[in-house]
Structure 1
Amino acid sequence: MSPKVTEAYKEEKRTTILAGALHCFLEKGFQATTTDDIARHLRISKGTLYGYFASKEEIYIQLAHARMDDMVETLNTLYMETSSAKAMLRHMFERFRRQPLDELRKWLTFHLEFTTYASRRPELIASNRTYLDKALNLLNRILAAGKRSGEFRAELDESSAAYLFWAVRDGLALSFLLDGDEAEYRRILDDMETMVMKHLTA
């Protein structure tokens, strides 16, 4: 087997393990899920699992980064096509709208579990910070591009606005974490998009 095929197989196996782990995390939560659960769900040995990931913590971190990297890649492509910072932000809101509320609740629940878990483990804080910085830097780049193009007001502080954007998204998600109607969630999300865009351009 050629090295190229071998690397492709390894990458496919990693992707399969990440998908299986995500299923387990969504069903049971981060702390309740064990590597035994993941291996059992995938019908592989724990040895095989550990051949790709050292721990369930590493699996979670890779999952989070994969989601963020997918968004970054999509937005970079969109910017090359449109050169519009506004279009990039509207695309992000559209991604939020496309995610069913039940799925968002499951993802947010185990994400919060991991964040609390990581806060007591210094070795995980840096990795989690890297993920958060990736999200903030993405917004900083979009907002700075919007200022250069004249889409956003020149005096806008892009660092503060980046935090505002994620605070809007995460705050709304937390408000609907335990209950609430999907139609109401989407209505408020639409209103928040309007408010955020008005703040950036007013």
Structure 2
Amino acid sequence: MPPIVSDSYKEKKRKEILDSALVCFAQKGFLVATVDDIVQHSGISKGAIYNYFKSKDEIFLELMKASTEATYEKLTGELEKCTNSIDKIIHLFDMYLSPKDREDIGNIVVHDEFKLHASRHPELLEKLNQRRQEYFIQLFSQIIKEGQHSGEIKKDLKPEIYANVFWSMIDGVMIQTIYPDFPSNDVINEMKEMFLRKIKA
């Protein structure tokens, strides 16, 4: 009869696996890193890892889920302090002005690698799309709608289109940060000014 394992023990092991996976993905990239790398880093056997996660894809999705939920909770709390919709949009742009360190850039690259990987796997792509809609498109669309209701933002704009415009711009800038001389802050500030001119009533 196998030993009874407590929920706290299981959660501890899951966290150890995820922490090791994050290190391996950051060091080697999602595509190159293997479950064997996670085994070596964590000291947990491959069989034990597969008791918790079915695949490397599932490990990454769990990491992304945890990161997204934490970021979303922090962000919504910050946005509640803004007094109007325009200030919320400015805050969202300004979030990306901070200088990016090597760890930030590594995480951006790993996320983009996974997106490319998911583009060849419909089930993964659907999960990413659901995450994008639930956490990003809906958030920005709601800000646009609030601004239209208050009279700050033009009534004829389509909220989802402009949510997609915003995140497409941000995604584009983030991947360019792999270049050491890319003027990300200047680009973001210019995009912000253009975007605000376009949407303000």
Give your verdict on TM over 0.5.
Answer: yes
Which of 1 and 2 has greater Rg?
Answer: 2
Aligned pairs for 1:51-200 within 5 A: 51-82=51-82, 84-98=84-98, 100=100, 102-134=102-134, 135-177=136-178, 179-181=179-181, 184-200=183-199
TM norm structure 1: 0.81
CA–CA distance in 2 between the matches of 1:100 and 1:160? Answer: 28
The 1:93–1:15 alpha-carbon spacing in structure 2 relative to 1, beyond 3 Å, is farther
- Alpha-carbon deviation of 1:152? 2.2
The one-letter code matched in structure 2 to 1:91 is H
Q: Which structure 2 segments of 5+ residues have no match?
A: 1-5
How do residues 13-32 of structure 1 correspond to structure 2 at under 5 angstroms? 13-32=13-32
- The farther-off stretch of 120-129 and 79-88 is 79-88
Mapped to 1, the partners of 2:154 and 2:21 lie a distance apart of: 43
Aligned length: 195
Residue deviations 1:90-131, cap 9 Å, x none? 333333223615344322322232222222223322212212
Question: Partner of 1:147: helix, strand, or coil?
Answer: helix
Residues of 2 paired with 1:191 and 1:141: CA distance? 23
Which ranges in structure 1 are unaligned for 5 or more consecutive residues?
A: 1-5
Distance 1:72 1:150 in 2: 26
The answer (yes or no) to whether the contact 1:104–1:173 under 8 Å persists in 2 is no
Deviation of the 1:41 alpha carbon? 1.4
- Residue 165 of structure 1 and its aligned partner are, at CA, apart by 0.3
- Partner Cα separation in structure 1 for residue 52 and residue 89 of structure 2: 35
